[in-house]
A and B are shown apart, each in its own frame.
Chain A
Amino acid sequence: MNVHATGGDVGKRSLSIIDALRELEGPLLPILHEIQAEFGHIPQESLPVIARELNLSRAEVHGVVTFYHDFRQQPAGRHVLKLCRAEACQSMGGDAVAERVKAMLGIDFHETTGDGAVTLEPVYCLGLCSCAPSAMLDGAVHGRLDPARAQALVEEARR
């Protein structure tokens, strides 16, 4: 999944994304989302291109990228597992599920397994608070997790 791209290539592909979105009112977030969808993260090489094309300073673009939890400066693992850590999930044993998952993967939140298979991230509510604890694996939602179901999810992610 990780795209290996040369600097020049990143610049060119970034530019075509920017061109498609620059007419929007407030184009920066849509552009960053598209760039992350394209490269799996926000490559350093795309920052000067965005800054130049949107008439911003590089520091401003960097400031925006770092403000939002979603934007990655490094590529993630092949799969991203997000566990909800918020109150409704806490009330239904979310902490125990998280401990089990961390132990199975051998990593903590914000880390990626050594084989590059799974990145584990916290999320603060998926709107699935009525079927807690919940998780999202690569955009697919899962509810009513217990340690056993969490284990199945981790095995799926590892494949």
Chain B
Amino acid sequence: MTVRIYVPRDAAALALGAEAVAETLHREIAGRGLDVKIVRNGSRGLHWLEPLVEVETPAGRVAYGPVSAADVAALLDAGLAEGRPHALCHGLTEEIPFLKGQTRLTFARCGVTDPLSLEDYRAHRGLTGLEKALAMDPADVVREVTDSGLRGRGGAGFPTGIKWKTVLDAAGPQKYIVCNADEGDSGTFADRMIMEGDPFVLVEGMTIAGLATGATKGYIYTRSEYPHAVKTMRNAIVAARAAGLLGPSILGSGRAFDMEVRVGAGAYVCGEETSLLNSLEGKRGVVRAKPPLPALQGFLGRPTVVNNVISLASVPIIMDRGAAYYRDFGMGRSRGTIPIQIAGNVRHAGLYETAFGLTLGQIVDTIGGGTASGRPVKAVQVGGPLGAYFPRALFDTPFDYEAFAAKDGLIGHAGITVFDDTADMLKQARFAMEFCAIESCGKCTPCRIGSTRGVETVDQIARGIEPEKNRDLLTDLCNTMKFGSLCALGGFTPYPVMSAMTHFPEDFRPTPMVEAAE
């Protein structure tokens, strides 16, 4: 019987040498005359073990990692093709605690299947959600999504079903589903992993959104920094069209939906939905004032659903298993699961999908295993470049939209970046202002000018020039940005800045030596 060996083609695996591993494996297998088929899967999300090679055995899939090309021959000698022990072997993949502890709903297939095989997709419960949606009234599909409690995973946490209802009720000959795949937040990679590891789930989710709202055309707007995701997504769309899953008659239903991928051009602000729509229309990615809501006047002024990749990719399982199944996970008003992306200076970096409600400390210390450097954790930034820095003292905060907001933070796209005690929080605050200055769309003065003034002010504090006055000035500046900015780039940049200054005041006090040098 042909043995299947899995070597991921996820960008994180490729960045760590997966291509060379696959090539060497091909060569060695041919040389040894083994009956092996190599499958290029997505990533399981255990990134510290990438490239993670798996082999199918009667007992289940067995994992080896991190594997380098130089390890391949020895691994085959040790009996990798039969799942035999080796120093790099971790036993059954599903039994690895990091994976076993997860609740994989949205990511159920990611890393398991061949991303571009529709056959594989179907064999793993793919398209059952779509089939159900095809048999329902649009309003009932919208109600199912509303009842699931799904909130937008792009950052703002707006209820997805309510947004869909607005578009369903809007009149218009042409409506659109726009998938926000601009994932610019540092510390996040869930969208990328889905697009590379299970692209059909996004195709299915967008198609269901189209059926639910009466939209017949979809766009995936993603980043030029994600060439692998772009390629996989485009191939998946071609395959879906060929199989009659997309096109004039979805699965023979007589109802139409089609989509294409569009690539941005290196502007963080284009992740903001109205800036994204301008960019999609071929304009400068400047933020639009709301109202009008994109749901009513979005792409080309027409009714448009703008949803994050993970929001849309969570819809198929909601339709498949029912709203109650999804809603039963989570806490408070944060229902279902969230793919937490654990990044930065952390031992077990990767993607961990779980119900809302774990504490930050559990995520960082227990699941993440503390820092990669082995030094104490100093701070974690939650929610990307606009998210707050949390000190250990706040590690009891549960992962939940409202709980984070109550601590002057945000979940955002659920990225967590860990810093050890060598981090200089003044430097991090400076970077937050600098990033805002680089990426500002330029529409608001507080954001455009304030961020540059912010960098200068932090520099003054660092040099010990009137530190007290400048700390007050920085606070004022943050307030002006917070309340005087049109969008969250200018409006939320104060979160990392103020949290750094509030929780780590010692880093904002010039050392006597610096003062003496002035």
Contact = CB atoms under 8 A, between A and B. Distances in A.
Are chains A and B native binding partners rather than an unrelated pairing? yes
Interface of A: 25-30, 32-33, 54, 63-64, 67-71, 86-92, 123-132, 134, 136, 139-144
Contacts of B129: none
Nearest to B348: A130
A142 B419 CA distance: 21
A30 B281 CA distance: 10
Contacts of B284: 63-64, 67
B320 interface: no
B250 to A, nearest CB: 20
A26 B263 contact: no
A141 B15 contact: yes
B282 A130 contact: no
Nearest to B226: A127
Given A87-B385, A125-B184, 5 more contacts: A91-B420, A126-B225, A128-B15, A130-B341, A144-B15
Nearest to B185: A125
B186 interface: yes
Given A130-B12, A139-B227, A33 B187 contact: no
A13 to B, nearest CB: 20
A129 B189 contact: yes
Contact of B48 (A33, A54, A71, A130): A130
A29 B186 contact: no
A67 B282 CA distance: 11
Nearest to A66: B284
B435 A131 contact: no
A140 to B, nearest CB: 8
Contacts of B438: 124
A32 B285 CA distance: 14
A71 B286 CA distance: 16
Which of B187, B228, B418 has most chain A Cβ within 10 Å? B187
Interface string B280-291: 111111100000
B265 interface: yes
A87 B184 contact: no
B282 A141 contact: no
A144 B188 CA distance: 16
Contact of A88 (B48, B186, B435): B186
A28 B224 CA distance: 15
A131 B299 CA distance: 36
Secondary structure type dominating chain B contacts: mixed
A87 B428 contact: yes
The list of the 3 closest CB pairs from A to B, nearest first, reads A28-B282, A143-B15, A68-B265
B298 interface: no
9 contacts: A26-B262, A26-B281, A28-B282, A64-B284, A69-B266, A88-B186, A91-B420, A125-B225, A127-B225
Interface of B: 11-12, 14-16, 47-48, 50, 183-189, 191-192, 217, 224-228, 262-268, 279-286, 299-300, 341-345, 349-351, 372, 381, 385, 415, 417-420, 423, 428, 431, 435, 438-439
Contacts of A136: 225
A147 B12 CA distance: 19
Contacts of A63: 284
Contacts of A124: 184, 186, 268, 385, 435, 438-439
A130 B47 contact: yes
A130 B339 CA distance: 14
Contacts of A141: 11, 14-15, 228
B12 A91 contact: no
A29 B263 contact: yes
Contacts of A54: 282
Nearest to A136: B225
A129 to B, nearest CB: 4
A74 B345 CA distance: 37
Contacts of B47: 130-131
B345 A91 contact: yes
A141 B189 CA distance: 14
A91 B12 CA distance: 17
Contacts of A134: 15
A69 B48 contact: no
Contact of B344 (A28, A29, A88): A88
A71 B12 contact: no
Contacts of A129: 186-189, 341, 343-344, 349, 415, 417
Contacts of A89: 186
Contacts of A27: 282
B344 A92 contact: yes
A131 B268 CA distance: 21
Given A29-B263, A69-B267, A127 B417 contact: no
A79 B227 CA distance: 17
A43 B142 CA distance: 48
Nearest to A124: B268
A56 B12 CA distance: 41
Contact of B417 (A69, A87, A128): A87
Contacts of A28: 282-283
B343 A88 contact: yes
A68 B267 contact: yes
B183 A127 contact: yes
A128 B282 contact: no
A69 B264 CA distance: 10
A26 B15 contact: no
Contacts of B423: 91
